[in-house]
């Protein structure tokens, strides 16, 4: 029995040495020291031994059991330490690696231009006003000196919803709505960006839905020179000092006198191309002195108050600013086009 115990010890030590995982080691523990293990069996068979042999074998069996248990504990510590090392190695973070790029959205070029124009006018003391996209015939036309049947209504082909409701064709109705709210008291100084809709045929510079930004100033002693100065400041800030501007006499029923402003074409440098239709100029806005009848209809005394107004096409401005050759790029959502307007730090 002594030999059997010695053999068991050697066998166990070999298995302990071979164990490379905690799980294996635990199996060795169960198989040698468990209730059904060989040492327990030896102890159970002690009854058959002589009285002299019993304490000797009993002591030896305990010794062997303790030796195996100690060896297992030792090995367990080694394996646990190895496991921690392996974990640390596999979870090492290389802080010098470049970060993963997170693709986030970006403002649409048109939104950027509109915000830039808003900021510019806010800096000049204007506030931002809004109005509905589905508008009444009254505010879109009648309050702007365009009674029903007026031939100038043909200048803006409209999408009608009912006889009295339409998709607004310009942002000028916000002029009438804002003046009405002021109850005949100046000053009024607003800009109004928003979507407008016309039954225009889409081409390089026309879209059936586009953005306008309206401006309106009403106060005592507002003159044409104030309008001209404002438009010049706007154009120089937006396009740079070197771009040419021209004002042409024009006609709008709601302003008198009226003008249109053109900017020299950036695409062809003024030589003529399909964007400027060979003229070297692109029309970006209509403007003028608010017609006395419009002031009166919105509750202002036209003997005391005068005002100027302008309405510009945001897409045309963005095209001139960035050298974009077709207005349809703004609405086709081609990612290759939109990506060109990412901030340079991304
Ligand atoms: C008007 O809409 C007037 N309400 C502007 C105005 C306001 C005049 C206040 C006087 C006082 P017009 O139809 O010209 O005007 O349009 C103004 C600008 O919108 C144009 O100069 C052009 O830049 C832009 N625009 C007009 N039609 C289109 C279109 N189909 N697609 C893209 N931009 C357009």
- Which phi and psi (to 5°) does residue 46 adopt? -65, -25
Residue predicted with more confidence, 335 or 296: 296
Q: Kindly report the protein residue whose alpha carbon is nearest to atom 27 of ligand 1.
A: 206
Which of 313, 316, 330 for a ligand 1 pocket mutation test, highest count of atoms within 8 Å of Cβ?
313
Mutate to test the pocket of ligand 1, among 197, 205, 212 (most ligand atoms within 8 A of CB): 212
Distance 341 CA to ligand 1 centre (A): 25
* Percent of the chain predicted with pLDDT > 70: 99
Question: Residue 306: enclosing H or E segment and its boundaries?
Answer: strand 306-313
Render 63-86 in DSSP notation, one character per residue: HHHHHHHHHHHHHHHHHHHHHHHH
pLDDT for residue 344: 59
pTM for this entry: 0.72
What is the torsion angle, in degrees rounded to the nearest 10, for the CA atoms of residue 296, residue 302, residue 307 and residue 310? 40
The Å distance, Cα 192 to ligand 1 centre, comes to: 13
Tell which residue, 170, 282, 267, has the closest CA to residue 216: 170
Closest by CA position to 281, among listed 244, 251, 313, 312: 244
Atom of ligand 1 nearest to the CA of 206: 31
Q: With 0-12 CB in 10 A as exposed, 13-18 as middle and 19+ as buried, what is 40?
A: middle
Give the nearest ligand 1 atom to 171 CA. 4
Cα–Cα distance, 261 to 131 (Å, whole number): 24
pLDDT in tens, 145-175: 999 988 878 777 899 999 999 999 999 999 9
What pLDDT shows up at residue 249?
Answer: 97
CA 50 to centroid of ligand 1, rounded, Å? 119
In this prediction, residue 248 has a pLDDT band, given cuts at 50, 70 and 90, of: very high
With 0-12 / 13-18 / 19 or more C-beta atoms within 10 angstroms meaning exposed / middle / buried, residue 273 is middle
* Two structure tokens written together for 313: 């096409």
The residue nearest atom 7 of ligand 1, judged by CA position, is 311
State mean pLDDT over 209-229.
Answer: 97
Of the segments 190-199, 200-209, 316-325, which one has the largest average pLDDT value?
190-199
User: What is the rounded CA–CA span in Å between residue 197 and residue 342?
Assistant: 28
Residue 7, pLDDT above cutoff 80: yes
What does the pLDDT read at residue 288? Answer: 97
């Amino acid at each position: 029995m002594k030999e059997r115990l010695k053999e068991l010890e050697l066998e166990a030590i070999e298995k302990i040495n071979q164990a490379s995982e905690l799980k294996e080691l635990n199996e060795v523990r169960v198989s040698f020291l468990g209730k059904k293990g060989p040492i327990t069996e030896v102890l159970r068979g002690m009854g058959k031994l002589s009285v002299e042999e019993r304490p000797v074998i009993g002591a030896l069996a305990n010794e062997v059991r303790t030796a195996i248990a100690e060896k297992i504990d030792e090995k367990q510590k080694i394996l646990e330490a190895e496991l921690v090392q392996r974990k640390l190695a596999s979870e090492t973070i290389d802080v010098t690696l470049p970060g993963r790029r997170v693709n986030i959205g970006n403002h649409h070029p048109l939104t950027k231009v509109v915000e830039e124009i808003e900021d510019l006018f806010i800096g000049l003391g204007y506030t931002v006003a809004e109005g509905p996209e589905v508008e009444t015939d009254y505010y879109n036309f009648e309050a702007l000196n365009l009674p029903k049947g007026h031939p100038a209504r043909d200048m803006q082909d409209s999408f009608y919803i009912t006889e009295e409701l339409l998709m607004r064709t310009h942002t000028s109705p916000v002029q009438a709505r804002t003046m009405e709210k002021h109850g005949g008291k100046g000053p009024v100084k607003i800009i109004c960006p928003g979507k407008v809709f016309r039954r225009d045929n889409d081409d390089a510079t026309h879209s059936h839905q586009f953005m306008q930004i309206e401006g309106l100033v009403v106060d005592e002693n507002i003159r044409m020179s104030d309008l001209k100065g404002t438009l010049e400041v706007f154009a120089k800030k937006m396009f740079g000092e070197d771009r040419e501007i021209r004002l042409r006499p024009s006609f709008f029923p709601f302003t008198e006198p009226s003008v249109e402003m053109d900017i020299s074409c950036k695409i062809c440098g003024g030589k003529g191309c399909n964007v400027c239709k060979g003229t070297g100029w692109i029309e970006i806005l209509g403007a003028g002195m608010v017609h006395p009848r419009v002031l009166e209809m919105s509750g202002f005394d036209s003997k005391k108050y005068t005002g100027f107004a302008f309405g510009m096409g945001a897409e045309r401005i963005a095209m001139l600013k960035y050298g974009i050759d077709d207005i349809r790029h703004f609405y086709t959502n081609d990612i290759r086009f939109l990506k060109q307007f990412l901030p340079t730090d991304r």
